[in-house]
Structure 1
C-alpha cells in the first residue's frame, strides 16, 4: 500500500509540474503585440488596401497618399508628366476606374469630358470634387471679359493655403471611407499641414527677393492666378487667355499679348513643359523678351511630391526674374 501511495503522490506531483510549465510564458513575449494588434494600430500594413481609390491627377494622388500613409493609397488616372487637359482614356484606365470605389477630382470644369461622362455613367463610383471648398477665383474676373464661359480657375494648388483647406476635405472623406482610420488620418494631416505652412512661408520669403516693381510676368496660359492672389504678384493676361492649355490663341490674343508686354515692360515669359509653346515663342521673338522653359503647372513628374513641384516652379520663376533685373 505504501509503495502504491508513493507512486500516486509522485504522479500527482509530476502532473502539477507539467501544468505549471504549460501556463508559464516568456516574459519578453508578454510585451510583444499580437499580429492582430499590429493591424489595429495600422503601423506597417495598409489596412485599407482593399479600398480602391483613384484621383484624376498625380497632384491629388500625392495629397491622398500623404494622408493615407500606411492605411491606404491612391493612384492617378492621368500618368505623371502628362498634361491632363489633352489626356484620353485607354482600356486599362477604364478598367481601373470601373474597379475603384472613389475618384477624387479637381472639379471646377478642370477634368475633360472623357472623365465627366464616364463618372456620370457609373453612379456607383463616388466622385469627390475638391475645388469647391477652396473659395475659387472667378474665371470671368480674371479675364475682365463679360459673358466669358469657364466659371472658375481650377489651378488652386498654386496657393498652399488653399491646399490646406483641401487636405481637411480629404481627411473627412477618408474618414467616411475608412472610419476606423479616422484618428490616423487626422494625425497624418496635422503633420502634413505643418509642411504646407512651411512651404507657404518659404514662398513668401523667396518671392520677396524680387524687387517690388519687377514682380510681374506673363505665362503661356492662365494658370498662376492663385499664386498672384496669395503672394501679391502681377501676372498679365496670358498668351492663351484660357485656363485650358489645349485651347489655342487667336491672332487677336497674340497682338494683345505683345502690346501688354510693351506697355508693362515685361522682361520674361514663362513657357510650360507640357504644352505646345509655339505661340508663346512667337510673342517672345516679336518683343525680344526672355522665354523661360520648364514651368510645370499641371502635373508631377515621377517620384515628385506636390511640395517638390511647388519649390521647383518657384526656383524657375524667382531665379529668372531676378536675372533680368541685373
Structure 2
C-alpha cells in the first residue's frame, strides 16, 4: 500500500500541538482524504448533519418567550369644537364621563394602559393638561391617586384658580350616590377598587351627570339623554352577570396576584382563597409562595388571576409549581384592546373561563435541548471515529 505523504513541517506544527484533540481532528481529515468515494460521501453527510443540529440548537436557544403585548391606548376622547375639557386620574372615570358628556366636551385620563395607578408620579405635562382643563374629577380613594392633591394645587396655581374639582366617592350615607367600600380579609384593610362592580358604576355615572348639569345647565338635557342610554347598557351588563357569568363561576376558588377584583368576584360568586401581593409594593417571601402552593393543593384551586399593571413573575412561578392555569384580567382600560368599561367587565368575565397554561421555563427548555443535542452530537462523532478507525482496509490496485 502507498504511504500517506508527509505533511510539510509548518503545517504539521500548526496542527500537531500539545492538544490531543487537535491531532484527532487531523487524523480524521487525513483519513477522509484517502477514503473511497462512497465512504467519503458518508462521512461528509454525517458532518453536515452535525452542523445542522448545532444550527438548530443555536436558533432555538436564542429564542425567548415573547412577552405579553399589552395594547396601550392614548386614552383621550377628543372632539373638535368641544367647549368643555375634563381630566380624570384613570381611564375608568374618563370612560364614564365620556358616556355622559357626549359630543359636548372632551375627556382625558392621566394614567393610561398598563401603568400601575398605585405608584404613578405625575409630571409637569400632567400639570399643564390639568391646568388647561375646566374640570378635574377625582376618584376619591386613598392610595389609588397618589399625590393627586399636589397635582391639583399645582394646576390651580398655573390656571389662576379656575379649575373645578369634584370627587366621585361620597359618604356611604348618601342615598343617591354613596359608595360603601368593603373590608378585604386577604389584605386586612378596606379594598378601594369599588369601580369593578357595575352596581357602583351606575351610582357614579348618575353623580357625574348630576354634577355636570350643575356646572353646565344649558347642556342638562343632553347629559341626561346620554346618561340614560349608558345606564341601559350598564343594566344589560348586570343582566349578563346575573344570568350567564354567575352560572359558570359560582363558588369557584382562585388565588389572586392583586386584590383588584374583589367587587367583581363577589358578584360572580367567586371565592378568593389567597393573595400573592398582600401589601402594595411588598414582594412575597419564599415562605409566602410555599404557603400558597400548599393552599392551592389543599383547596384544589385551578386558577391564579393576575393583571398587566403588576409583575406576573411570582404568578408564573406558582402556576408552574402547582400545575394550574393563569387568567389575565384587567381593572383598567388601555390594555388588551379594551377601551370601554363595559367591554372590560365582559372581557374579565370571559377571560376567567379561558385561563391559559403558564409559559414554559426558557432556561429549562434550553438546558434540555442542549443536553439532547450534545448527546446526539457525541454519539454521531463517536460513530464517525469508530467507522474511520475500523473501516475495511482497501488493497492498492497497483499491488494487486
Find out whether 1:72 has 2:105 as its counterpart. Answer: yes
Q: Residue in 1 aligned with 2:262?
A: 225
In 1, the alpha carbon distance for the partners of 2:153 and 2:185 equals 30
In 1, the alpha carbon distance for the partners of 2:343 and 2:85 equals 26
In 1, the alpha carbon distance for the partners of 2:288 and 2:152 equals 34
Q: Residue in 2 aligned with 1:39?
A: none
Find out whether 1:181 has 2:216 as its counterpart. Answer: no
Give 2:277's match in structure 1, choosing from 209, 227, 240: 240
Q: Residue in 2 aligned with 1:162?
A: 200
Shift, 1:126, TM fit: 3.2
| 8 Å Cα contact 2:187-2:278 kept in structure 1 | no
Give 2:94's match in structure 1, choosing from 57, 61, 72: 61
Find out whether 1:263 has 2:298 as its counterpart. Answer: yes
In 1, the alpha carbon distance for the partners of 2:331 and 2:233 equals 20
Change (3 A) 1:205 1:90: same
Find out whether 1:119 has 2:152 as its counterpart. Answer: yes
| 8 Å Cα contact 2:333-2:339 kept in structure 1 | no
Q: What SS does the corresponding residue of 2:260 show, helix, strand or coil? A: coil
Q: Residue in 1 aligned with 2:331?
A: 297
Render the CA deviation track for 1:93-139: whole Å, top value 9, x for unaligned.
Answer: 12101222321122211434332322245563333222334533334
Q: Write out aligned runs for 1:73-222 (5 A).
A: 73-121=106-154, 124=161, 125-132=163-170, 133-139=177-183, 141-143=184-186, 145=188, 148=189, 152-210=190-248, 212-213=250-251, 215-222=252-259
Structure 1, 220-229 or 99-108: larger mean CA deviation: 99-108
Give 2:317's match in structure 1, choosing from 282, 288, 292: 282
In 2, the alpha carbon distance for the partners of 1:120 and 1:90 equals 13
In 2, the alpha carbon distance for the partners of 1:216 and 1:255 equals 18
Structure 1, 102-111 or 113-122: larger mean CA deviation: 113-122
In 2, the alpha carbon distance for the partners of 1:288 and 1:309 equals 28
Q: What SS does the corresponding residue of 2:255 show, helix, strand or coil? A: strand
Render the CA deviation track for 1:241-272: whole Å, top value 9, x for unaligned.
Answer: 24x4x443344543442333223211011221
Structure 2: stretches of 5+ with no match in the other structure: 1-78, 171-176, 357-400
Change (3 A) 1:58 1:144: closer
Aligned-residue CA RMSD in angstroms? Answer: 2.5
| 8 Å Cα contact 1:58-1:79 kept in structure 2 | yes
Structure 1: stretches of 5+ with no match in the other structure: 1-44, 322-326
Q: Write out aligned runs for 1:1-20 (5 A).
A: none
Q: Residue in 1 aligned with 2:396?
A: none
Output the TM-score relative to the length of structure 1.
0.73
| 8 Å Cα contact 1:143-1:241 kept in structure 2 | yes
Structure label with greater radius of gyration: 2
Output the TM-score relative to the length of structure 2.
0.60
| 8 Å Cα contact 1:106-1:154 kept in structure 2 | no
Q: What SS does the corresponding residue of 1:168 show, helix, strand or coil? A: helix
Q: What SS does the corresponding residue of 2:97 show, helix, strand or coil? A: helix
Give 1:50's match in structure 2, choosing from 55, 78, 83: 83
Shift, 1:230, TM fit: 2.2
Q: What SS does the corresponding residue of 1:56 show, helix, strand or coil? A: strand
Find out whether 1:317 has 2:352 as its counterpart. Answer: yes
Tell me the matched-pair count: 266
Shift, 1:211, TM fit: 6.1
In 2, the alpha carbon distance for the partners of 1:168 and 1:46 equals 26
| 8 Å Cα contact 2:254-2:303 kept in structure 1 | yes
Render the CA deviation track for 1:163-199: whole Å, top value 9, x for unaligned.
Answer: 0000111011111221111121111111110100101
